């Protein structure tokens, strides 16, 4: 079985065509080796994140997977409750961290944290 390539004007066998296609595919994939890989960013961890936040997120993920696999009302309610718990936990941790940060500020020594004076 022979194939005629319109642009090249050559007649080649099917096996040659397949081998050339495989070679081209291999060259393309070697150039794009990062394609499909998960890219991770080195994000600075939040100072307010604690073990309680991690546990809440993990339980929420578990509830979500359970709901996706078995979409019944009880699993939906459990997921929504765990999602609300995550929001409550992270907001509480953020609030506590903000309170401790504000208590650490000594405005007489750390002038950069002071509000600029409003002169009109």
Instruction: Domain of residue 91: give its range.
Output: 51-105
Total tally of structural domains belonging to the chain:
1
Q: Tens of pLDDT along 19-67?
A: 888 888 887 776 666 555 666 666 667 888 999 999 999 999 999 999 9
Assigned domain for 7 exists: no
Q: Which two tokens stand for residue 56?
A: 């809440």
Distance, CA of 8 to chain centre: 46
Residue 79: burial class (beta carbons within 10 Å; 0-12, 13-18, 19+): buried
The pLDDT of residue 71 is above 70: yes
Distance, CA of 74 to chain centre: 28
Please give the Cα distance from 91 to 97 (Å, whole number).
10
Residue 60: burial class (beta carbons within 10 Å; 0-12, 13-18, 19+): buried
Assigned domain for 66 exists: yes
pLDDT at 18: 86
């Amino acid at each position: 079985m022979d194939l005629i390539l319109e642009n090249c004007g050559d007649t080649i066998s099917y096996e040659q065509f397949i081998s050339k296609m495989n070679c081209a595919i291999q060259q393309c994939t070697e150039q794009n080796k990062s394609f499909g890989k998960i890219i991770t960013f080195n994000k600075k961890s939040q100072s307010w994140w604690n073990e309680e936040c991690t546990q809440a997120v993990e339980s929420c993920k578990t509830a979500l997977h359970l709901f996706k696999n078995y979409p019944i009302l009880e699993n939906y309610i459990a997921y929504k409750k765990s999602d609300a718990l995550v929001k409550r936990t992270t907001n509480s941790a953020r609030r506590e961290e903000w309170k401790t940060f504000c208590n650490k500020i000594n405005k007489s020594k750390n002038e950069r944290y002071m509000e600029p004076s409003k002169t009109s």
